[in-house]
Amino acid sequence: MTTREIDGIRLEQVREYVWEIPQEGEMRVPARVLASEALLDEIGDDKTLQQLKNATHLPGMTDHAICMPDGHQGYGFPVGGVGATDAENGCISPGAVGYDINCGVRMMRTNLTYDDVQGREEELVEALFANVPSGLGGGGVVDGDKETIEGVLERGVDWALEAGWAVPADLEHCEDEGRRPDADPSAVSQKAKDRGKNQLGSLGSGNHFLEIQRVTDTYRDDVADAYGLEPDQIVVLIHCGSRGLGHQTCTDYLRKIEKEHGDLLDSLPDKELAAAPAGSELAEAYYGAMCACINFAWVNRQLIMHRVRQVFARVFDRSWESMDMHLLYDVAHNIAKKEVHEVGVDPEGRPIGGGDAADREERELYVHRKGATRAFPAGHPEVPAAYRDVGQPIIIPGSMGAGSYVLRGGESSLDLTFGSTAHGAGRLMSRTQAKQEFWGETVQDELREQNQVYVKAQSGATVAEEAPGVYKDVDEVVRVSDALDIGDKVARTYPVCNIKG
């Protein structure tokens, strides 16, 4: 058996692309890293593996804590991490969801081709930049009063439909039809609502962006057909989250949980993993608040998408419907969700990890996906009807120099990863280091001259932080996902125009 030791952590190779950190000490389950040797080397460069090991200490963990091929260090719990805890006897951890609740990506199709936009990149990038709010701070496409924010938190994209910012087909092509029913707006603090109310329909900063892309390749033609994708087609990618509202909600509940559940906190190897025991008042409140933030982020992406339709209609002087600008799908990267999965159990029926399980039984779990994407296969009842025969679409954004992928949920995802796969290329270096290595203006010029990619950003520093060189190889990440059959390649895209904070 191949073994590796990285910073004192021993990994055993279970099979190709599957590495296991065996259970020892206070670990409740083993941990697994899904990676090629090259990606494992990069994952081992920061605290990711220690954080993954720490995550196995959370009460109620089932089967394995998992790190995706794009994993890197995060707050307490790795970005690219999946951890499923028993929803009855386990816990829920805000750090295992992330600060940017329902940070995610949606892709909108068009019937335009690269020929239609080539030569008009400048015009498009300027029009989008002028009409889609971006950067830190306030200002969104709609002004949210008290009633608006409550409606958004409670009803998600249903609110957008009522307000004229969505069409019914948008709901049909979004997880949960764009509305998480467990949302509890009363569990979201006034401070969080105040931060969010003037950020409805705004990109934010950091790695968030809006990109016009062209499809360069398709791989599984039956699935590509079902998704309405073909080479040379123009698509639009929107990557953003729940802005200050989700961030404040995470902060609020981390503080409350640290204070109320200090005993549980003391049993964990890292304070940043703070968790509320399943069934406690704070677990319920956090779940309700997080679901409300999920609704907010879905509306955020919906408003931006609809604004992009309006911009295209103006630039191309025709209706957005005539350009077939329909939502392909919207995926969440940072959420915990109650889902039923088969997990290993001991003879008394309690969830247990690794090879010690006597049997496997269905359990309701909090599936924490932090920088990881749901990847349900064909036939799963939660996959929208339009895609149920082929599996759910998965959108993997790469860097602005490398392009992105569309995958479909693979047949092995339910067995290997609680129905999950990677979420992007994954960072190779910190933002601070990126700013030492790159200069925004230079990055921008090179992308334009060498790659014909037009970038416009509020801040040059953001361009440096997001330079193509700060990301892992998205082709390699996707190759591992495809080889493990957790998310299978359907299409590859390449950037045309990119706007960001």
Partner DNA sequence: ATGTAC
- Which residues of this protein are in contact with DNA, per CB under 7 A? 75, 99-100, 103, 136-137, 191, 194-195, 199, 204-208, 240-241, 243-244, 247-248, 251, 431, 501
Say if residue 126 is exposed, middle or buried (CB neighbours under 10 Å; 0-12, 13-18, 19+): middle
Establish whether 400 is an annotated binding residue.
yes
Q: Residues 57, 306, 326, 423: which is the catalytic one? A: 423
Establish whether 412 is an annotated binding residue.
no
Spatial CB neighbours of 78, under 8 Å, sequence gap ≥ 6 = 48, 51, 52, 55, 67, 71, 72, 370, 371
Please say whether the beta carbons of 87 and 366 come within 8 A.
Answer: yes
Establish whether 131 is an annotated binding residue.
no
Look up 247 and say whether it is catalytic.
Answer: no
Shorter beta-carbon distance to DNA: residue 85 or 102: 102
Establish whether 95 is an annotated binding residue.
no
Shorter beta-carbon distance to DNA: residue 78 or 501: 501
What's the min distance (Å) between Cβ of 203 and DNA? 8
Spatial CB neighbours of 263, under 8 Å, sequence gap ≥ 6 = none
Establish whether 247 is an annotated binding residue.
no
DSSP state of 61: B
What's the min distance (Å) between Cβ of 80 and DNA? 12
What's the min distance (Å) between Cβ of 107 and DNA? 18
The number of C-alpha atoms within 13 Å of 194 and in the hemisphere containing its C-beta is 3
Establish whether 398 is an annotated binding residue.
yes
Establish whether 111 is an annotated binding residue.
no
What's the min distance (Å) between Cβ of 67 and DNA? 17
Owner of token pair 């962006």: 209
What's the min distance (Å) between Cβ of 462 and DNA? 8
Shorter beta-carbon distance to DNA: residue 150 or 465: 465
**Residue 181 neighbours by CB distance under 10 Å:** 11
In single-letter form, the type of residue at position 186 comes to: S
DSSP state of 188: S
Q: Using CA atoms, how far apart are residues 277 and 263, in angstroms rounded to an integer? A: 11
Q: Using CA atoms, how far apart are residues 357 and 344, in angstroms rounded to an integer? A: 5
What's the min distance (Å) between Cβ of 1 and DNA? 36
Tokens of residue 444, six digits: 């921008």
Establish whether 425 is an annotated binding residue.
yes
Establish whether 5 is an annotated binding residue.
no
Establish whether 210 is an annotated binding residue.
yes
Shorter beta-carbon distance to DNA: residue 121 or 260: 260
Spatial CB neighbours of 240, under 8 Å, sequence gap ≥ 6 = 103, 104, 202, 203, 204, 208, 297, 300, 301, 304
Closest CA to 96 of 66, 134, 141: 66
Closest CA to 102 of 171, 48, 156, 59: 156
Give the pairing type, strands 209-218 and 487-500.
antiparallel
Shorter beta-carbon distance to DNA: residue 75 or 418: 75
Q: Using CA atoms, how far apart are residues 474 and 81, in angstroms rounded to an integer? A: 17
Shorter beta-carbon distance to DNA: residue 151 or 244: 244
Closest CA to 77 of 415, 469, 489, 372: 372
- DSSP letters of 108-142? EEEEEEHHHHTT-HHHHHHHHHHHS--SSS---SS
Closest CA to 4 of 28, 29, 36: 36
Shorter beta-carbon distance to DNA: residue 81 or 410: 81
Spatial CB neighbours of 259, under 8 Å, sequence gap ≥ 6 = none
Shorter beta-carbon distance to DNA: residue 103 or 152: 103
Annotated binding site for Mn(2+): 100, 208, 239, 333
Annotated binding site for GMP: 207-211, 333-334, 397-400, 404, 423-426, 500
Catalytic residue positions? 423
Annotated binding site: 100, 207-211, 239, 333-334, 397-400, 404, 423-426, 500
